[in-house]
Structure 1
Amino acid sequence: MELNNVKETVADTAVLIVGAGPCGLALACDLARRGVPARLVEQGAGLFPGSRGKGVQPRTREVLDDLGVGDAVRTHGGPAPVGMAWQDGARTGEHRMFRVAPPTEAEPYGEPWMMPQWRTQEILLARLRELGGDVEFSTALTGLDQDADGVTARLSTGPVRAAYLVAADGGRSTVRRALGIAMTGETVDPAPMLVADVRVAEDALDRLNWHMMNTDAGFITLCPLPGTADFQLVAQFKEGAPDLSADGVRALVAARTHLRAEDVTEVRWASDFRPRAALADRFRAGRVLLAGDAAHVHSPAGGQGLNTSVQDAYNLGWKLGQVLLHGASASLVDSYEEERRPVAAGVLGLSTRIHRGEQERGAATQQLGLGYRGGPLSTGRAGVLEAGDRAPDGPAGDGRRLFEVFRGPHFTLLAVGTDAELPTGGGPMLRVHRTGAYEAYGKGLFLVRPDGYVGWAGEDATGLAEYLAPIGLDLNRG
């Protein structure tokens, strides 16, 4: 496929993605379904093996549905267990960890979905392979150079030339350090933490609850992971450093819970970290972009890190696709940092407040209210929505749901409760749909971006053509 805005000297790939975590995999899937040539490299020999980011928020579930893995997520995940507090080996009461709201027409998912990070990655990798892509494992980035036309990356397997490089290589990002981009932040909690995936004897602990124990040495929790035989163990250390050995984890469980060391039948993975909140000073340097943990590092308390990372990819994928394949202005890529950095900053603050007990997990953690009002790609207002808002789900008027109408790499011009004249051009990347009155939108025309946000809104099509031209859509094109 011919690439726009890319010189012939950029021959190896259009996009090089460094890091096959949830962010890198989601971006690779989005680019693959758009037909954008991309390579995804990962320095590890396989996917990350741990459960670390286990909460999939409602907005991310919508994203994963659009990427074609909604059924797999439903099959392999489950709702968050009800928390159970323990003291001196006795249960002392239940505690809801997350806000649970019934699904509505506009918001089909009302609660976080629990699924270990390794499973999320497996699902995304399977989808990427369905789309004709794959991960190049055991491939490390050792350096990079860039110019006005692209990036030359030095990999352990040889050099690669790409139009753009996306760093999705985690909080210790090699790419970010090579660029000299600083992270500004703070230590959220001076006490180190241990996280591990363990298996527990069936008669020792039930899998119906998220078990929580507070001790003088620090808290410990054991959360059953749906679709697996594992529990995720998280423990705080007020003094000393975590022992990550299997015997060390077993001794920790015996010291802080009513379980015996031998009740922990297997320690499958263990890691330690110090809760920190940090934000990259920039998300872009020339033709290199930072995404996911390479751009922002969260406390795990709010269940926001993985979700914000996947949504970085979802924001960036369509913009790269429009620039590389559909003639959009190269400046469209600038909007990635302009839109996502403020969102990341807000989410970091939320995660930190939750960690410190200053705010409860509630509607904000579901990420359904996040958007881009006032952003560089948000123009107009109609009905009850302003450009930049998330486009709600609902009946499409033809037996389908609106999310089914939106699903895919295209834009959707949605006419709700109006007889306003609709354009007939725009090419294959613009689809038009008309439906009856619906209170979640009100009356008007709404251009829904490929990532599910309203980009433009109006009572009629005045100004739409001018909005579409810089993003690669021409209403004069059939």
Structure 2
Amino acid sequence: MEKQSPLGVLICGAGATGLTLAIDLARRGVPFRLIEKLDSPFPGSRGRGIQPRTQEVFEDLGIIDRIVAVGGLYAPQRDYREDGSYAESDMGEWRDATPAEPYHLALMVPQFLTERVMRERLAELGHQVAFGCELVGFAQDEDGVTARLAGPAGEETVRARYLVGADGGRSFVRGALGVDFPGQTLGMRAVAADVTLTGLGRDAWHRFNGANMERQVAISPLAGTDLFAIQGPIPQEGEVDLSAEGLERMIAERTGRSDIHIQSVSWASAYTMNARLANRYRVGRVFLAGDAAHIHPPTGGQGLNTSVQDAYNLGWKLAAVLGGAPQRLLDSYEEERRPVAEAMLGLSTGLLEAMKRGVNRRSREVQQLDLRYAHSSLALATSGETSRPSGALCAGDRAPDAPLRGAGGHARRLFELFAGPHWTLVGFEPERDILPPRPGLRIHKVGVGRELADEAGHLRKAYGLAPGAWVLVRPDGYVAAIVASEDADALDRYLRDVGLEPTGFVLSPAAERELVPSRDRG
């Protein structure tokens, strides 16, 4: 039976990527449908590292406190020697939080808990996942995508303006598009399992034979659960016994210990490590995101994080175009995200090679706080930008946080101002308004006699602003432009190009300046 649905977006795949996109579209009021061919949620812990940049994304989506509550920090790594003694080290660089970077440590949250929190958030926004619903075919035309879905009630046809394939490394959407997925098999096969066991404490990430790829095994407590995660390389060929007995036997052989006993297996998988990147992220009205666009080895904890940020980048752009912004805005998705995935593939494979040598320590690179879109077509070059000193924050950079003080005396943060589906324009000690208000843009002024005060100078330090400068921040928390008052017309054109049109009778920026009362002209 044919069914036509007035959807803005059809999302295929309800893992972390699809859920991020669904939450973002839901809070923007975009009609969508999120389908998942599995009959129930993914039960494993596979993607369990939540990096600081992704924590910032989760704060904006309204789930960071819940994510922290269900997870925890990584336990220290305990490397055992042949004689049973061991050495302990931290998994990554321990740093204090700063005003500009409030999240500074990776969280350990099993993937099934992260996705459960995300589904709960989606339900609060009035939506849910359609489990047991499979995309079996689609065709696109100039105006949209016609998709055939198979579910418990039979087959139906759905019409949507856009289709997003967030359906994993074996993506049906990517295959149907004919998009190449080049890369390499990394010559390593591994087992991953979530189990209950006795014989090891929950105070450490236990690692045996770290420099021996034939006997290596890592057993780590899974924060927020009573489970342990087992990881270890296995032979390239042959069957693997993933039962409790089989895994216990593998552990005994590799550790030389007979006191580690597995009671049950919650989830287990044997997989071959690959590093692959789709040649294209977009074909017409169809997009690829997450593992459908790139797959990484698990080293460095980059896969889920890169995938979440794909969706976070794409969501606001889809909403803007569905709201009337030019179609070309969507071209920036591949332009910005594909180079990031390419860099993450290089990082993950480099960490894998280091792990083969017995080195398993993560640097700042894995935190994804330094990712930037400096060469994006959405990074506006202005006189305010070109006059800035070398090394200063630029358009395309991640927008830092900073503590502020509201005129009413209460503490505020820049991230609070950014939170939500809108763009944000912040003026630092401005002499006059640079633009009149418009829907989708929130304007804030910082300085003496303004709504907000930069008492400790953290905003000025992080952004390198001179008095009178303005910073435009995108909905996904990246700097779009740093402008001076003479850039008002360029800023107005930019905002119109991304769909932020003034409503009603609004003067041009130049005419607006002519009408500013003299007392506000400095």
1:424 positional shift: 2.2
From 471, 479, 497, the equivalent of 1:454 is 479
Among 289, 292, 300, the alignment partner of 1:291 is: 289
1:86-133 CA distance string (max 9 Å, x none): 134613201222222110000001110100001110000000000001
- The AA in structure 1 aligned to 2:58 is L
Cα offset for 1:291? 0.0
Instruction: Tell me how far 1:27 sits from its aligned partner.
Output: 0.4
The corresponding residue for 1:440 is 462
Distance of 1:421 and 1:307 partners within structure 2: 38
Between stretches 92-101 and 309-318, larger displacement belongs to 92-101
The letter for the 1-side match of 2:443 is V
Q: Distance in 2 between matches of 1:10 and 1:386?
A: 45
1:187 Cα deviation from its structure 2 partner:
1.9
Q: Which runs of 5+ in 2 are unaligned?
A: 447-453, 507-522
Matched letter for residue 263 of structure 2: T
Q: Secondary structure at the match of 1:62?
A: helix
- Once the two structures are superposed, the pairs formed by residues 366-377 of structure 1 within 5 Å of their partners are 366-377=367-378
Letter in 2 for 1:94: E
Q: 1:89 to 1:43 in 2, by over 3 A?
A: farther
1:92 corresponds to: 86
Cα distance in structure 1, aligned partners of 2:106 and 2:430:
35
Q: 1:313 aligns with which of 291, 308, 311?
A: 311
For 2:206, the equivalent position in structure 1 comes to 211
RMSD (CA atoms):
1.8
2:43 is aligned to 49
One of 108, 112, 119 as aligned partner of 1:114: 108
Q: Quickly say closer, same or farther: Cα 1:234–1:299, change in 2 above 3 A.
A: same
**Which AA in structure 1 matches 2:393?**
L
Letter of the 1:372 partner, please give it: Y
SS in 1 for 2:114: helix
Alignment of 1:317-466 (within 5 A): 317-325=315-323, 327-357=324-354, 361-380=362-381, 381=385, 384-398=392-406, 399-427=411-439, 429-435=440-446, 436=454, 437=457, 438-443=460-465, 444-460=469-485, 461-462=487-488, 463-466=490-493
Q: CA deviation at 1:340?
A: 0.5
Deviations 1:142-179 (A, max 9, x none): 11111011111111031111000000000000110011
- Point out the more displaced range, 44-53 or 393-402: 393-402
Instruction: State the one-letter code of the partner of 2:366.
Output: T
CA distance in 2, matches of 1:258, 1:406: 53
* Counterpart for residue 3 of structure 1: none
Flag the 1:476–1:396 CA change in 2: closer, same or farther, 3 A: farther
Note the C-alpha offset of 1:239: 5.7
TM-score, normalised with respect to structure 2: 0.86
Following superposition, the deviation at residue 35 of structure 1 comes to 0.2
1:321-344 Cα deviation digits (max 9, x unpaired): 11112x210111111011101111
1:160 aligns with 2:178: no
Task: Output the amino acid matched with 1:473.
Answer: L
Q: What is the percent sequence identity of the aligned residues?
A: 46
| Superposition deviation, residue 457 in structure 1 | 1.5
Please tell me whether Structure 1 or Structure 2 has the larger radius of gyration of its CA atoms. Answer: 2
Which residue of the partner structure matches residue 500 of structure 2?
473
* Residue 46 (structure 1) shift: 1.1
CA distance in 2, matches of 1:85, 1:262: 16
Preserved CA contact (<8 Å) 2:213 2:233: no
**Structure 1, residues 249-268: CA drift from partner, whole Å, max 9, x if none?**
12112221254387111111
Which amino acid in 1 is paired with 2:113? R
Change beyond 3 A, Cα 1:49–1:259: farther
SS of residue paired to 1:275: strand
Q: What is the match of residue 250 of structure 1? A: 248
Which residue of the other structure, out of 10, 19, 28, is the alignment partner of 1:34? 28
- Whichever residue aligns with residue 173 of structure 2, its letter is V
Q: Spell out the pairing of 1:121-140 with structure 2 (5 A cutoff).
A: 121-140=115-134
Identify the match of residue 268 of structure 1 among 260, 266, 271.
266
Q: For the residues of structure 2 that align with 1:92 and 1:59, how far apart are their CA atoms?
A: 33
Change (3 A) 1:420 1:390: farther
Distance in 1 (CA, whole Å) between partners of 2:83 and 2:118 is 40
- 1:270-318 CA distance string (max 9 Å, x none): 0011111100000001100000000000010011000000000000000
Using a 3 Å threshold, how does the CA distance of structure 1 residues 59 and 310 change in structure 2: closer, same or farther?
same
Distance 2:207 2:251 in 1: 12
CA distance in 2, matches of 1:89, 1:238: 26
Q: What is the alpha-carbon distance in structure 2 between the residues aligned to residue 216 and residue 473 of structure 1?
A: 55
| Pair 239,30 (structure 1): closer, same or farther in 2 beyond 3 Å | closer
**Partner Cα distance (2:404, 2:137) in 1:** 49
Shift of the 186–417 alpha-carbon distance from structure 1 to 2, 3 Å rule, reads farther
Q: Select between 418-427 and 41-50 the one with higher mean Cα deviation.
A: 418-427
Is this contact kept in 2: 1:302–1:351, CA < 8 A?
yes
Q: How many residues align?
A: 465
Q: Conserved in 1, the CA contact under 8 Å of 2:277 and 2:294? A: yes
The SS at the match of 1:223 is strand
- Distance in structure 1 (CA, Å) of the matches to 2:317 and 2:232: 40
Aligned to 1:5: none
The answer on whether the counterparts of 2:220 and 2:230 sit within 8 Å (CA) in structure 1 is: yes
CA contact (8 A) 2:321 2:499 kept: yes
